Structure 1
Amino acid sequence: MAASAIMVPAAYAQERDSFKIAWSIYAGWIPWKYVDESGIMKKWADKYGIEVEIVQINDYIESINQYTAGEFDGVVATSMDALSIPSAGGVDTTALIVGDYSNGNDGLVMKDSSDIKDLKGQEINLVELSVSHYLLARALDSVGMSERDVTVVNTGDADIVAAFSTPGVKNVVTWNPLLDDVAKMPGANRVFDSSQIPGHIKDLTVVNTQTLADNPKLGKALVGAWFELMAEMGTDSEAGQEARAALGEASGTDQAGYEAQLAGMKMFWKPADAVAFISSDEAVEAMDSVRDFSFEKGLLGEGAPSADFVGISFPGGKTLGDTDNIKLRFDPSYMQMAADDAL
């Protein structure tokens, strides 16, 4: 897989006029559905003389795998998954849009206890090797414990809520809207959530670096369309409320339900705020923690000798890992253009 993936950028090395971006349902990514169906994407694509197809994929990890295999030019992903799947697989990937970070939407819930130290010797149900697994590691670390002190039980996200409702399952880690469902159950205590590790679980729209280099129009159109919607969606204007209501319905809830999910995220409604965040030392430190976890769990591949295997670049010349193998790039230049009204 890695060998074929490394070939992908060469295949993309050309100027083109049609592109495909994949997305999957989560509060921070579903705005792409509205960007597409409202005509905002077409407006920006027409401005630059290109076509951009926005495609919903029901399986999140599969969407990233398809991007990694070259079937899409971009995809939505968390920073951890962008690192561990395409970048670790040899596909040079650029984080074009930093949309938000989880600020309470991911959490650890315990039954009949509110003390993380009581987890010692217990089982914890979660989606293994996901951001939930990462959150557990940070929660345990916060009280001087480690994963060696507990037993992780791999549980599909579709089964988490039902599992917690049974007597045998006492602890789960999950994300919204499942997190809110679990936390409402009798005896449930939300003991740790992503608001305690701000910036660690980032939601990105990433694109193939070579494709972006050869087709800057794609970057301009995507960033322009995204932040046009954000400028409305983050307000109480009629258009903003209409967008949130539509996205609530599309995600199986309503406007209030969707707004509750947004409340658990630090949304970057303005491009300047996204640029400021990803340029901060905190963003680098958070990614350093994420790459260490990814290496410890074998997510950087069998051939990775250390967390430094995959190089990661940030604004201002900051880097983590091997500078000769930069495969994940946080490049805010297009978001800066949006901030400067220069798209």
Structure 2
Amino acid sequence: MMKMIGTAGKIALLASTLMMASCSSAPDAGAEKKTEFNIGWSIYAGWMPWPYAQQAGIVKKWADKYGIKINIVQVNDYVESVNQYNAGKFDGVTVTNMDALTIPAAGGKDTSAIIVGDYSNGNDGVLLKGANSVSALKGKQIYLVELSVSHYLLARALGSAGLSLSDVKTVNTSDADIVGAFSSPDAQAAVAWNPQLSVMRGQPSANEVFSSAQIPGEILDLMAVDTATLKANPALGKALAGIWYETMALMKRQDAQGKEARAAMAKLAGTTPDVFDKQLTTTFLYDQPAAAVAAADSPALVTTMTRVRDFSFSKGLFKGASSADAVGMAFPGGKTLGDPAHVTLRFDDSFMKLAAAGKL
């Protein structure tokens, strides 16, 4: 499960020009009409429906309906998939709400989140050895991928106990190394995501003192598309929504066909059906379009994105910005957060609404 922002150096590279100079209040009206599109994805339980849909012919079915071609392209490194989207190699990408904000949007690339696919409902957690409370984290060294959703989760955990990030010391550790780091007797605390989290949770005296299940809806997994491309090619949004909800309906079935679909997704993720099904129990999938529309339209989303942008700004992830308001965000119903003249992240519920109404 790859869900990290990446290092500050990567962020600086993505936003090497001042954000204020590159942002715009509306997508480029001159975007070209196209018939072929590339969508990037990386391995994570909530994103495995996309490659499965391609394998099963669901992608082709919906693309053919709208007279287009959609290529679902795997990138082994999550950060690199977002970087490639940011550079224009992909028309869309699977991405978290935080990364959509801090990489393309903060760098000036106008991006629309058109499918709210799921939220982490326990896939991310804070671990502590020898104690079982968040307050016991005070003064500890905590191993995590800095400037990532793990860092955000830690901040939310500490806040729940009246603590702040200044009360602990973080040790930047890659997701590839964090299991080994936490196994050291000197390591007392860590923050990680699945599948690493499940392995680390099994270490002696390790206790999960906080998880993403305690902040439901805050670590969101999205399908994001370049806004100008989407405006010029609305068929892409319709096809992607059709693909997602048809695949959701199939994978949620408890019969042999549903089991077969989940097993195929597990294989694509490089794991077993049992492990994949277990990961799904801590992934809240918005398998019904009406539920996804409700999530996108809820005031809770604005509250969540306020927390996310304030944290991101405090960590220097809005390069060139003088305040957290510099990156504008738009929400359904005309709501905005930040500078309305420089909106570069848009939560667009229109395609989910079409799916909910059976009008795709």
Query: Which category describes the TM-score, using the shorter chain as reference length?
Result: over 0.9
CA offsets per residue over residues 37-64 of structure 1, 9 Å max, x none? 1110011101111111110001111111
Task: Tell me the residue number matched to 1:320.
Answer: 337
Distance 2:133 2:68 in 1: 54
One of 84, 91, 102 as aligned partner of 2:102: 84
Task: Tell me the residue number matched to 2:52.
Answer: 34
One-letter amino acid matched to 2:115 = I
Determine helix, strand or coil for the equivalent of 1:41: helix
After TM superposition, give the deviation of residue 132 of structure 1 in Å: 0.2
After TM superposition, give the deviation of residue 234 of structure 1 in Å: 1.4
After TM superposition, give the deviation of residue 238 of structure 1 in Å: 2.1
One of 219, 226, 233 as aligned partner of 1:201: 219
Query: Contact (CA 8 Å) 1:12, 1:211: kept in 2 or not?
Result: no
Please give the residue correspondences for 1:185-200 in structure 2 after superposition, counting only pairs within 5 Å: 185-200=203-218
- Whether 1:297 aligns to 2:325 is no
Aligned residues: 342
Distance 1:170 1:11 in 2: 53
One-letter amino acid matched to 1:126 = L
Distance 1:293 1:105 in 2: 20
Determine helix, strand or coil for the equivalent of 2:38: strand
TM-score by length of 2: 0.92
Query: Contact (CA 8 Å) 2:50, 2:244: kept in 1 or not?
Result: yes
Q: Equivalent pairs: percent with the same residue?
A: 56
Gaps of 5+ in 2: 1-13
Distance 2:262 2:305 in 1: 30
Determine helix, strand or coil for the equivalent of 1:113: coil
Task: Tell me the residue number matched to 1:309.
Answer: 326
Determine helix, strand or coil for the equivalent of 1:191: strand
After TM superposition, give the deviation of residue 237 of structure 1 in Å: 2.4
- Whether 1:149 aligns to 2:183 is no
Distance 1:207 1:46 in 2: 19
CA offsets per residue over residues 100-131 of structure 1, 9 Å max, x none? 01111100011111122222211000001000
Query: Contact (CA 8 Å) 2:41, 2:93: kept in 1 or not?
Result: yes
After TM superposition, give the deviation of residue 11 of structure 1 in Å: 9.8
Query: Contact (CA 8 Å) 2:38, 2:91: kept in 1 or not?
Result: yes
Please give the residue correspondences for 1:1-343 in structure 2 after superposition, counting only pairs within 5 Å: 2=15, 3=17, 6=22, 10=28, 13-301=31-319, 303-343=320-360
Determine helix, strand or coil for the equivalent of 1:99: strand
One-letter amino acid matched to 1:137 = A
TM-score by length of 1: 0.97
One-letter amino acid matched to 2:157 = A
Distance verdict in 2 for CA 1:264–1:12, change over 3 Å: farther
Query: Contact (CA 8 Å) 1:22, 1:54: kept in 2 or not?
Result: yes
Query: Contact (CA 8 Å) 2:23, 2:342: kept in 1 or not?
Result: no
